[in-house]
C-alpha cells in the first residue's frame, strides 16, 4: 500500500479542496500519513497570495523531496498557476497540477508514477476557463460545521491581489450539486454549513449569463442566485444552520436582507470585506465602493439584524498610506464598531499593480499600525460580548476545553460568538441558555437550559 502525505497552505477554499484530494486518495486505497513522515507521494496545495506565500510553498515542496528523494512530489494550487514556468524548473517538483484539475489528481498521480518522466505538467489556462470543476466532499475532520465550496475565480482585479490570475474568472457551481453535497453531509451528522468561494458575492453571475444585476441603491448589485440557493438549502436539506463566507458590501441590499429574514437557518454573521477605511486608499486598491457606501450597508444590516456580528479584513501599510489615511481607517473602524477585525500587514506580490506602486512602507511602520488596530479590535470584541450578558443564546456544541480545572463544552452562537457550558456534553448538540458572563477573553459562559 502506497503512502500519501498532504500539506495545505492558504484559504478556506484551499482547505476544502485539500480535504477532497485526501478523500480521493483514501478511496483508492492509499494510506494517508502525516506530512512529517516518509511517504511515497507528497501533495502540497500551494498558496500565492503574497511573495511570502510563494516562498513557503516552495519550502514545503523542498522539505518533501528531502524527506524522501524517491517520492513523487506534487505541486498543486495557486502558486502553480501563477508561476508555472518557475515551478516547472524546480528540480524538487515532479508533477504540477493546476487549479481546475484537482478533481483528477489521483489519476494524474498514477499516470506520473507509471511514466518514465519525472517532470509532468497539467496546468490549464484559467483566464479562459468557464466551467466550474465539480467534486463532492464526503466529510471533514470537524464533526459539526463543514465548509462547502460553491464558487471559484474572481473578476474584481484589486490592485494588491494576484488571485484572478491564479483562479481565473468567476465560475459558479450548480445548485443541484450544492444541495446534493449538503444533503449527504447532513446524513453524516453535520449541523452547520459555511458557504464559501473565492468571491462568494459573484455566485450565479455566470449561471445567469450576465455579470451583475445593477440596482439604483448606490451602484450596488444584488445576487438573486445566491439568495435563491440559500433558500433552497434551507427548504430542501435538514441543515440546522447556514453561514456565509466573506461577502462584498455591494451585495447588501434591502431585497437581499429581507430574503435572508425568511430563512430560519441563516446565521446573522456578516463578514464584509473592507481593506481600508480611507477613500483614497480604497481607490488605489481598486476597491469598488467608498467608506460612506460601506457604512450605509452596515447600517442596513443592523436595521434588519440589530445583534448581527459584523466582521471584516483590513490591510495596513498599503503603498503610499499616509499617517492621515491610517487615522481615517482607525476612525472608520470605530464608527462601524465591528465585532472583529482581521488585520493584515500589506505584503508585496509580484505581478500585481500595487507591487509597482511608489511609497512602499517599511515593515516597522506596518507592524506598528497593525498592533494599534489589533488592540482596538480586541476592545470592541469585548464590548460586543458584554452586550450579550443576560441574553438567551443558542449554541451549537463543538469541543471540550478545560478552564481553571473545570470542563466546558464550547460552541458558537448564530452570530459567531464563542460560548461555553459547564460539563461534558456531546458535540453537535444545539443548546440554549442564558449568558452568565465572560469566561475568557474570547469565550462567554452560558448556563444551559437543554
- The predicted-structure confidence for 214-264, as pLDDT tens digits, reads as follows 333 433 445 789 999 999 999 999 999 999 999 999 999 999 999 999 999
Q: Give the Cβ contact number of residue 441 at 10 Å.
A: 9
Check pLDDT > 80 for residue 206: no
| Same domain flag for 287 and 405 | no
Whether residue 131 is contained in a domain is answered as no
Check pLDDT > 90 for residue 128: no
Residue with cell 500519513: 33
| Same domain flag for 403 and 357 | no
Say how far apart CA 241 and CA 267 lie, in whole Å. 6
Nearest Cα neighbor of 171 from 153, 158, 156 is 153
Residue with cell 436582507: 257
Check pLDDT > 90 for residue 70: yes
- 9 in Cβ contact with 53 (< 8 Å): yes
Which residues form the domain of 436? 392-448
Whether residue 138 is contained in a domain is answered as no
How far are the Cα atoms of 281, 283, 286, 290 from residue 219, in angstroms, in the given order?
20, 16, 15, 11
Cα dihedral value 165, 167, 168, 171, nearest 10? -160
Confidence of residue 137 (pLDDT cuts 50, 70, 90): confident
Say how far apart CA 256 and CA 222 lie, in whole Å. 7
15: enclosing H helix or E strand: helix 12-27
Whether residue 30 is contained in a domain is answered as yes
- 372 in Cβ contact with 73 (< 8 Å): no
> Which tens digit of pLDDT belongs to each residue from 354-369?
999 999 999 999 999 9
Domain with residue 116: its CATH number is 3.40.50.12160
Residue with cell 499516470: 111
Strands 392-403 and 269-271: unpaired
Residues ≥6 apart with Cβ < 8 Å to 70: none
How far are the Cα atoms of 64, 211, 305, 365 from residue 268, in angstroms, in the given order?
42, 27, 7, 35
Q: Is 66 exposed, middle or buried (0-12, 13-18, 19+ CB in 10 A)?
A: exposed
pLDDT at 219: 39
| Same domain flag for 284 and 370 | yes
Domain with residue 179: its CATH number is 3.80.30.20
Q: What are the residues facing 412 on neighbouring strands?
A: 396, 418
Say how far apart CA 121 and CA 94 lie, in whole Å. 9
pLDDT at 215: 36
Whether residue 130 is contained in a domain is answered as no
| Same domain flag for 181 and 107 | no
| Same domain flag for 383 and 407 | no
pLDDT at 211: 44
| Same domain flag for 376 and 279 | yes
Point out the domain boundary residue: 368, 387, 406.
387
Cα dihedral value 155, 160, 163, 166, nearest 10? 120
pLDDT at 371: 98
Q: Give the Cβ contact number of residue 205 at 10 Å.
A: 23
> Which tens digit of pLDDT belongs to each residue from 276-314?
999 999 999 999 999 999 999 999 999 999 999 999 999
> Which tens digit of pLDDT belongs to each residue from 390-440?
999 999 999 999 998 999 999 999 999 999 999 888 889 999 999 999 999
Q: Is 383 exposed, middle or buried (0-12, 13-18, 19+ CB in 10 A)?
A: exposed
φ/ψ of residue 368, rounded to 5 = -65, -45
**333-340 average pLDDT score:** 97
Radius of gyration of the chain (CA): 23
Cα dihedral value 48, 54, 58, 59, nearest 10? -120
Say how far apart CA 429 and CA 201 lie, in whole Å. 30
SS3 state of residue 58? helix
| Same domain flag for 332 and 366 | yes
Say how far apart CA 343 and CA 346 lie, in whole Å. 10
Q: What is the DSSP letter of 356?
A: G
CA 314 centroid distance within chain? 15
| Same domain flag for 113 and 260 | no
Say how far apart CA 142 and CA 155 lie, in whole Å. 32
Mean pLDDT score across all residues of the chain: 92
**pLDDT > 70: what percent of the chain?**
95
| Same domain flag for 398 and 383 | no
* Number of compact structural domains in the chain: 3
pLDDT at 214: 39
Q: According to DSSP H, which parts of 188-287 are helical?
A: 224-236, 254-261, 279-285
Check pLDDT > 90 for residue 194: yes
Whether residue 272 is contained in a domain is answered as yes
| Same domain flag for 204 and 325 | yes
Strands 443-448 and 418-422: parallel
**152-168 average pLDDT score:** 94
Point out the domain boundary residue: 354, 387, 420.
387
146: enclosing H helix or E strand: strand 145-152
φ/ψ of residue 265, rounded to 5 = -90, -5
| Same domain flag for 155 and 237 | yes
pLDDT at 270: 98
pLDDT at 208: 55
| Same domain flag for 303 and 217 | yes
**Angle 229-286-76 from CA coordinates, rounded to 5°:** 60
More confident position, 212 or 333: 333
Whether residue 132 is contained in a domain is answered as no
Point out the domain boundary residue: 387, 403, 436.
387
Which of 125-139, 313-327, 353-367 has the weakest average pLDDT?
125-139
292: enclosing H helix or E strand: helix 291-304
Whether residue 342 is contained in a domain is answered as yes
**91-106 residues labelled b (16+ CB within 10 A) or e (exposed):** eebbbbbbbbbbbebb
Whether residue 118 is contained in a domain is answered as yes
Amino acid at each position: 500500500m502506497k503512502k500519501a502525505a498532504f500539506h495545505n497552505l492558504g484559504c478556506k477554499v484551499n482547505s476544502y479542496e485539500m480535504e477532497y484530494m485526501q478523500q480521493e486518495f483514501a478511496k483508492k486505497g492509499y494510506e494517508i500519513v502525516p506530512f512529517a513522515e516518509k511517504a511515497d507521494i507528497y501533495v502540497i496545495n500551494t498558496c500565492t497570495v503574497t511573495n511570502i506565500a510563494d516562498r513557503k510553498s516552495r519550502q514545503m515542496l523542498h522539505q518533501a523531496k528531502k524527506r524522501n528523494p524517491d517520492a513523487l512530489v506534487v505541486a498543486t494550487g495557486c502558486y502553480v498557476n501563477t508561476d508555472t514556468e518557475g515551478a516547472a524548473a524546480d528540480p524538487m517538483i515532479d508533477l504540477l497540477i493546476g487549479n481546475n484539475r484537482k478533481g483528477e489528481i489521483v489519476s494524474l498521480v498514477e499516470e506520473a508514477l507509471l511514466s518514465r518522466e519525472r517532470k509532468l505538467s497539467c496546468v490549464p489556462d484559467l483566464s479562459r476557463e468557464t466551467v466550474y470543476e465539480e467534486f463532492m466532499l464526503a466529510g471533514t475532520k470537524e464533526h459539526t460545521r463543514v465548509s462547502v465550496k460553491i464558487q471559484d475565480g474572481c473578476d474584481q482585479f484589486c490592485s494588491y491581489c494576484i488571485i484572478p490570475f491564479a483562479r481565473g474568472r468567476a465560475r459558479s457551481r450548480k445548485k443541484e450539486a450544492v444541495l446534493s453535497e449538503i444533503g449527504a453531509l447532513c446524513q453524516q451528522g453535520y449541523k452547520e454549513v459555511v458557504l464559501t468561494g473565492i468571491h462568494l458575492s459573484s455566485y450565479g453571475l455566470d449561471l445567469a449569463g450576465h455579470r451583475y444585476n445593477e440596482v439604483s441603491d448606490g451602484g450596488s448589485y444584488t445576487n438573486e442566485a445566491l439568495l435563491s440557493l440559500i433558500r433552497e438549502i434551507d427548504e430542501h436539506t435538514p441543515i440546522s444552520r447556514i453561514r456565509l463566507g466573506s461577502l462584498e458590501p455591494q451585495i447588501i441590499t434591502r431585497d437581499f436582507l429581507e430574503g435572508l429574514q425568511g430563512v430560519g437557518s441563516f446565521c446573522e454573521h456578516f463578514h464584509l470585506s473592507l481593506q481600508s477605511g480611507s477613500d483614497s486608499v480604497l481607490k488605489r486598491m481598486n476597491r469598488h465602493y467608498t467608506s460612506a457606501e460601506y457604512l450605509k450597508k452596515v447600517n442596513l444590516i443592523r436595521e434588519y439584524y440589530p445583534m448581527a456580528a459584523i466582521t471584516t479584513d483590513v490591510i495596513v501599510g498599503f503603498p503610499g498610506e499616509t499617517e492621515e489615511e491610517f487615522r481615517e481607517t482607525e476612525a472608520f473602524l470605530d464608527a462601524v464598531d465591528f465585532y472583529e477585525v482581521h488585520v493584515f500587514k500589506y505584503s508585496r506580490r509580484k505581478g500585481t499593480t500595487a507591487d509597482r506602486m511608489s511609497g512602499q512602507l517599511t515593515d516597522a511602520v506596518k507592524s506598528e499600525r497593525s498592533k494599534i488596530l489589533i488592540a482596538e479590535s480586541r476592545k470592541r470584541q469585548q464590548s460586543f460580548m458584554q452586550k450579550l450578558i443576560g441574553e438567551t443564546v443558542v449554541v451549537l456544541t463543538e469541543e471540550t476545553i478545560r478552564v481553571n480545572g473545570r470542563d466546558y463544552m464550547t460552541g458558537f452562537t448564530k452570530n459567531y460568538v464563542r460560548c461555553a457550558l459547564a460539563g461534558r456534553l456531546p458535540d453537535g448538540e444545539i443548546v440554549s441558555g442564558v449568558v452568565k458572563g465572560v469566561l475568557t477573553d474570547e469565550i462567554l459562559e452560558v448556563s444551559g437550559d437543554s
